[in-house]
């Protein structure tokens, strides 16, 4: 019950409570909008990678069959890649924005986890190149690990992955051509 004064106005305390509630509501709206703006930023590399959502089949240059599936997770803030080559163990790679770059962590069947960051991509480029940042769970400095990934977007139904493996100072590249399952 609101206490009224002789002038039929709302009392001093009730008026301040109403002002407080309005001010608090405005602050909540501003904070929610600001937080949304901080996390709403996207980068072209991530948008390009999300175009791969779905199932793909392919083969390496040496004829080894491959399948890959892409799924958006965590409120569309991360992309999961599940890659299977021939009869080998499935590998998972997580892609996510990190400031103005795209980061990825590859959970390799070699039991290590290379982390790579995208290079700056020129407008109109069909490639995203990821370079090694570091590797977790590496058994020795010269132990085998992925050190580079180049993703080439040929068209909406075709793309290529070029994985570069480094071990004991030597490098080898595996090239896989993929086609979207229809």
CATH number for the domain harbouring residue 174:
2.40.128.20
Span 58-62, average pLDDT: 95
Q: Give me the pLDDT at residue 16, please.
A: 66
In a shared domain, residues 133 and 150 = yes
Pick the more confident residue, 22 or 129: 129
- 35 pLDDT more than 50: no
Q: Which domain holds residue 29?
A: 1-40
In a shared domain, residues 55 and 134 = yes
The DSSP line for 51-120 is TT-EEEEEEETT--EEEEEEEEETTTTEEEEEEEETTSPPEEEEEEEETTEEEEEEE-TTS-EEEEEEPP
In a shared domain, residues 22 and 84 = no
Q: Give me the pLDDT at residue 165, please.
A: 97
- 13 pLDDT more than 80: no
In a shared domain, residues 54 and 126 = yes
Span 30-41, average pLDDT: 52
Q: Please, which pLDDT band fits residue 3 given cuts at 50, 70 and 90?
A: low
In a shared domain, residues 12 and 61 = no
- 40 pLDDT more than 90: no
In a shared domain, residues 51 and 28 = no
Number of domains in the chain: 2
In a shared domain, residues 51 and 115 = yes
- 33 pLDDT more than 60: no
pTM (2 d.p.) = 0.77
Closest alpha carbon to 73 in 104, 98, 94, 88: 94
Element (H, E) at 161: strand 158-167
């Amino acid at each position: 019950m609101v206490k009224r004064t002789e002038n039929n106005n709302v009392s001093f305390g009730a008026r301040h409570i109403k002002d407080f509630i309005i001010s608090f509501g405005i602050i909540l709206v501003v904070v929610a909008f600001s937080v949304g703006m901080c996390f709403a930023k996207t980068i072209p590399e991530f948008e390009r990678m999300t175009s791969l959502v779905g199932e793909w089949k392919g083969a390496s240059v040496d004829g080894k069959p491959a399948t890959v599936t892409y799924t958006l997770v965590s409120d569309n803030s991360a992309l999961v890649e599940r890659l299977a080559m021939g009869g080998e163990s499935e590998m998972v790679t997580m892609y996510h924005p990190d400031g103005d770059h795209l980061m990825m962590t590859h959970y390799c069947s070699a039991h290590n986890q290379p982390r790579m960051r995208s290079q700056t991509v020129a407008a109109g480029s069909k490639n995203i190149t990821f370079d090694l940042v570091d590797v977790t769970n590496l058994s020795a400095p010269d132990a085998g690990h992925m050190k580079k990934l180049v993703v080439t977007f040929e068209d909406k139904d075709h793309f290529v992955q070029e994985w570069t493996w480094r071990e004991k100072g030597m490098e080898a590249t595996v090239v896989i051509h993929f086609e979207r399952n229809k």
